[in-house]
Amino acid sequence: MTVLEFSLIVGAGSLVAGFLGALTGLGGGVVLVPMLTLLLGVDVRYAIGASLVSVIATSSGAAAAYVREGISNIRIGMFLEIATTLGALAGATLATRISTSAISIVFGLMLIGSAFLSWKRPSRNQREGGLDPLATKLRLNGSFPEGNGIRNYNVQRVPLGWGLMFGAGTLSGLLGIGSGAMKVLAMDQAMKIPFKVSTTTSNFMIGVTAAASAGIYLSRGYIDPGLSMPVMLGVLGGSLLGTRILVKADPKWLRRVFSLVIVALGIEMLYKGISGRI
């Protein structure tokens, strides 16, 4: 296989990864790492480095479109990003001291369980509960366009969501992923934020979390420009395509796609953890 053929294959796969990442709020890394390592034989450390670069590209490509459409909640994203960035730095620091295989197994089980939980969509009455004093004080409540009107929502259980975001950031630093699945689930299930807002705000956040982790991998020499360039271009194109579809998509359909993708990710993480390949 020539360098050009390899780059074209990587770019095409990255296009699909970016599309799924923007559509579900997971980031393209969840598809890229298994594609590069299992199908193309790339060393997992370099695959993770390219994955983190792609996550930053996905966030950059998708976030601008979602902010323009008025769906992302910037204030929530900036507030929760404090937790994920601190977690990412802590995870990267602990990466050489804790068995990532054991964490990978736990993470895989958590994702599979979360996939089933995500099918249990809270009723509209549950989502539109009373005002949370802390969320009100921090001005986290918001609105977004839905159908022909504007839908308002109230954020719930802020401390629980902040704690889950710290855990998401820690996993990002330990495993080299954007941890978008945990971000979406924390906002959707714990904080009762509408699913479409959760996915778009996750896309806004994952770039900062990935950048914190990517700095560690860059310092260790695990980011190869020759691999990262086609990955970044492919993911960026796919994320821009995904944003156009998500704005008009049915949240029920998005929830199903999200569940299937994180089940696949959970199985992959279990396999890698049990086999000791991560």
| Pair 196, 73: CB distance under 8 Å | no
Residues, the chain: 278
Distance CA 228, CA 223 (A): 7
Mean pLDDT of 202-208: 77
What is the reported pLDDT for 159? 92
pTM equals: 0.70
Mean pLDDT of 242-246: 76
Confidence band for 148, pLDDT divided at 50, 70 and 90: confident
Percentage of the chain exceeding pLDDT 70: 79
Print the SS3 string covering 3-54: HHHHHHHHHHHHHHHHHHHHHHCCCCHHHHHHHHHHHCCCCHHHHHHHHHHH
Give pLDDT tens digits for 155-175. Answer: 988 999 999 889 888 877 776
- Classified as helix, coil or strand, 156 is coil
Give pLDDT tens digits for 5-27. Answer: 888 998 898 888 878 777 766 66
Distance CA 26, CA 132 (A): 27
Among 59-68, 81-90, 237-246, the least confident range: 59-68
